[in-house]
Amino acid sequence: MDMRDFFAMGGYAFYVWTSYGLAFVVLAFNIVQPLLHKRRVLKRIARQIRRTRRTA
């Protein structure tokens, strides 16, 4: 199969590849955001634990 034909998508390259690219971005966001959020939560809880250990 010709790679150039594949990327040209029969003249619909813009519409097809924008759709797939957007899908990739949106799905990636849905993985990265929870990861960052979890890191924030863990840090906050760790800080809270250290604080209570010091006062105890």
User: Taking phi first (over 0 means left), then psi (-120 to 50 degrees means alpha), and beta for anything else, what does residue 16 get?
Assistant: alpha
| The dihedral formed by the CA atoms of 40, 42, 43 and 44, expressed in degrees to the nearest 10 | 90
Tokens of 1: 């199969």
Is 49 an interacting residue with respect to other proteins (CB under 8 A)? yes
Residues 3, 4, 15, 55: which binds other proteins (CB under 8 A)?
15
Is 28 an interacting residue with respect to other proteins (CB under 8 A)? no
Residue 41, CA atoms < 13 Å, CB-side half-sphere: 6
Residues 1, 2, 4, 56: which binds other proteins (CB under 8 A)?
1
Residues forming contacts to other proteins in the complex (CB under 8 A) are 1, 6, 9-12, 15-16, 18-20, 22-23, 26-27, 29-31, 33-35, 37-38, 41-42, 44-46, 48-50
